[in-house]
Amino acid sequence: MTCSGACGLAPVALVDGKVYGRLAPANVKNIVNEYREMDKQ
């Protein structure tokens, strides 16, 4: 993995080209659910 260049938003995750910043466990669950819903469509 390369640097996402988002230290000011740490911790971050990069999913499908989109940067998600200031993550907490609840945020990760929401992100996963978001992609699950998109996959259903």
Q: Which two tokens stand for residue 40?
A: 């259903």
Q: Is residue 2 part of a domain?
A: no
Total domain count for the chain? 1
Q: Please report, for residues 5, 8, 21, 25, the alpha-carbon distance to residue 34 in angstroms, rounded to integers and kept in the order given.
A: 24, 24, 15, 14
Residue 2 has pLDDT above 90, yes or no: no
What tokens does 36 get?
Answer: 């699950």
What does the pLDDT look like over 10-25, one tens digit per residue?
999 999 999 999 999 9
Structural domain for 34, as ranges: 7-40
Residue 1: is its pLDDT beyond 80? Answer: no
40/37 Cα distance (integer angstroms) = 5
Q: Mind listing the pLDDT tens digit for each residue in 24-34?
A: 999 999 999 99
Predicted pLDDT at 4 = 86
Q: What are phi and psi for residue 15, nearest 5 degrees?
A: -125, 115
